[in-house]
Amino acid sequence: MHTLRLRDREFEPGDFAVMAVVNRTPDSFYDQGRTYGFEAALAAVDAAVRAGADIVDIGGVKAGPGDTVDAAEEIRRVADLVAAVRAAHPSLVISVDTYRAEVADVVARAGADLLNDTWGGPDPGLAEVAAEHGIGLVCAHAGGVTPRTRPHRIAYDDVVADVIAHTTALAERAVRAGVRPEAILIDPAHDFGKNTRHSLEVGRRLDEMVATGWPVLVAVSNKDFVGETLGGLPVEERHAGTLATLAVSAWQGARVFRVHDAAAAVTALAAVRRLRADAPTL
């Protein structure tokens, strides 16, 4: 398994890294715009750092369907925030959730360390941007769907095999483009181009992704499949299910965990680490 190196941080196999979500969007499914304002977003980053987050993932476009956000507006929302976070937290690993190379180039110049392409590579230029700036890249699986859409009745012969084939192909392409192998992660992208049954299958067989050797990121926090699995719970009642899913993912070898509640994730992952056979003795 690879050691993951981002900025000045090294995450060895067996280490867990918490990635806190901070969205500068007025229509986030989770907080409905609570961190859309610049000062609110910056305060949320500060709080995440205090809570123990290793990485902060800044986004400027809602994942699901909604108002059109062009590249210029996305840059307006995220670039100045990235620069301000870099000034306030020089050693923090900053990730930006974007699928556009144009945006990626701007945020890389502002101080981003990682490009989180949750839509599975619709813009091949993203890898070239990561290589040019010497930063990391998340290679995800979204079933080839158009960003910000929800496909109807999507089907796979074997969703896990499809996820592994796609994400590892993106990772290998990124290496060929010049991205450092130790700065690449793969992400099954639960709920992206998947229904609840697909997301659960990915969760049960996450160890197969881990076995590829690429560090695995999971982004399950408060997602629809968690709510649907527990009988249709609304977003505000998915916290316990999120922590359970994080723990199962960590046990199978996932390395990075994208979450809305960094403090709770830090605590849950510390418990998993103690329970694992390779944890240090007390």
Concatenate the DSSP letters of all residues of 200-260 into one string.
HHHHHTHHHHHTTSS-BEE--TT-HHHHHHTTS--GGG-HHHHHHHHHHHHHTT--EEEES
Task: Tell me, yes or no, whether 243 lies in a domain.
Answer: yes
pTM of the model: 0.96
**CA-closest candidate to residue 7, choices 93, 117, 110, 116:** 93
Mean residue pLDDT of the chain comes to 96
pLDDT at 273: 94
Task: Tell me, yes or no, whether 282 lies in a domain.
Answer: no
**CA-closest candidate to residue 137, choices 166, 178, 80:** 178
Task: Tell me, yes or no, whether 129 lies in a domain.
Answer: yes
**CA-closest candidate to residue 249, choices 43, 52, 19:** 19
pLDDT digits (tens, 9 = 90+) for 112-165: 999 999 999 999 999 999 999 999 999 999 999 999 998 888 999 999 999 999
pLDDT at 281: 52
Task: Tell me, yes or no, whether 37 lies in a domain.
Answer: yes
Task: Tell me, yes or no, whether 156 lies in a domain.
Answer: yes
pLDDT at 220: 97
Displacement of CA 185 from its chain's centroid (Å) = 9
The two three-digit tokens of residue 187, written as one number: 């992400």
Q: Residue 40, exposed/middle/buried by CB under 10 A (0-12, 13-18, 19+)?
A: middle
**CA-closest candidate to residue 118, choices 141, 100, 136:** 141
What contacts 140, CB < 8 A, 6 or more positions away? 116, 117, 118, 119, 120, 121, 167, 170, 186, 187, 188, 189, 192
Task: Tell me, yes or no, whether 57 lies in a domain.
Answer: yes
Under-50 pLDDT residues of the chain = 282
What's the CATH number where 271 sits?
3.20.20.20
Residue 238 CA: distances (Å) to CA of 26, 32, 102, 116, 225: 21, 16, 34, 23, 10
| Cβ contact 72:106 at 8 Å | no
Task: Tell me, yes or no, whether 281 lies in a domain.
Answer: no
pLDDT at 279: 53
Rounded to whole angstroms, the Cα distance separating 202 from 161 reads: 9
pLDDT at 278: 61
Rounded to whole angstroms, the Cα distance separating 186 from 168 reads: 7
Query: Number of folded domains in the chain?
Result: 1
Domain of 39 in residue numbering reads as 4-276
